[in-house]
Chains A and B, each alone.
Chain A
């Protein structure tokens, strides 16, 4: 799917920019696309390199949580929910602890902590994945929960509205909580339904190629 989306984005940007420039008789749009390509590649590297510090910090903390038995304990407490969401992941597996910690960080709006913990969870899920280049059901479910946003308080939005002089910047806390619950429910329902569709099924014959 990503292959198609990626190619579509590229082809559409060229087509749109060409159409704009030809109808307007200049080269502005194409110049903007060129600049965007170069700038975005730089942004990607800056973003990744900027992650090194927090990544090291949280992976260090995560290691302590693992060695101290906290990750396992978290996984055990939430086992009923987790075994329903991630039936392929055995109880007590470190992946579950990392998933719980990532979700907790997301709920609190701690984006800096959430990404490293989420990547740790992906690494653990990959260990259980029989086909390393293909997403497992557990990975997709984890991603769906993550992208549906489980943040309890939209702190950045509230801060922006407060800075703009809102009389009641916190008014959106309640509405966001309802909306985000709906989006998470839809995300989980969607992922659980889609994983059964033939288009998205991992072909079993190919999965069995590997011993």
Chain B
């Protein structure tokens, strides 16, 4: 299983690049010229997202530095302990939608302190795999097309994250009941 997964993820990119180029060539597309034509947009797109990313990352960075995540943790702790939610996972769950690198660091800490085969580590790993850095994705995706009124996208994204967090805890409790 693990070997198969590894092979797929290693082969995917070269196969996609070469496969798509070969199919296009068979359909008589001038592949080199068209590739360059498409690639021209890359620079523009990357530059266009800068202001949106600066706005989002600065606000998140300041909030984190001021200890905002810790404050949130204390605030929601009573509710979650009532729901039988493991307190160890709370900082990770709150950090996850805000920052990919910071949540990865917290995950690394959890694995180190509780052991890589512990229930908490498995819950945390499952959580990392079933949630996203919602605010980053929203800033970059909407920023690239200059959409500023995001309507229900943030709410839906955060609900999906919350579902992923709760599902991770329940699924792991059920699957790894022996731990």
Contact = CB atoms under 8 A, between A and B. Distances in A.
B20 A65 contact: yes
A interface, size bucket: 35 or more
Interface in A147-195: 147-149, 151, 153-158, 160-162, 164-176, 178-180, 182-187, 190-191, 194-195
A206 to B, nearest CB: 11
Nearest to B147: A135
B144 A48 contact: no
| A-side interface mostly | helix
A17 B116 contact: no
Contacts of B29: 64, 67-68
A209 interface: no
A65 B121 CA distance: 40
A142 B38 CA distance: 22
A187 B161 CA distance: 8
Contacts of A115: 140
Given A143-B138, A176-B126, A133 B149 contact: yes
Given A12-B68, A61-B16, A67-B24, A166 B116 contact: yes
Interface string A1-34: 1100110011011101100100000000100110
B50 A68 contact: no
Interface string A65-97: 111111000000000000000000000000000
Interface in B79-101: none
Contacts of A35: 65
Given A67-B29, A70-B23, A180 B36 contact: no
Given A59-B38, A143-B156, A191-B156, A156 B20 contact: no
B146 A175 contact: no
B159 A179 contact: no
A147 B104 contact: no
Contacts of B121: 161, 164, 166
Interface in A32-55: 32-33, 35-37, 39-41, 43-45, 47-49, 51-53, 55
B125 A161 contact: yes
A119 B2 CA distance: 31
Task: Pick the 10 closest A-B CB pairs, nearest first.
Answer: A63-B38, A154-B129, A56-B42, A187-B160, A40-B61, A68-B24, A176-B129, A183-B164, A166-B116, A36-B65
26 contacts: A9-B59, A9-B63, A12-B68, A13-B66, A17-B65, A29-B65, A29-B67, A37-B62, A44-B57, A48-B47, A56-B41, A59-B39, A60-B35, A60-B37, A60-B38, A140-B150, A148-B163, A153-B129, A154-B128, A154-B130, A157-B126, A172-B122, A179-B130, A183-B161, A185-B163, A191-B153
Given A52-B46, A108-B9, A190-B159, 7 more contacts: A51-B45, A55-B46, A123-B145, A142-B141, A154-B130, A157-B124, A186-B160
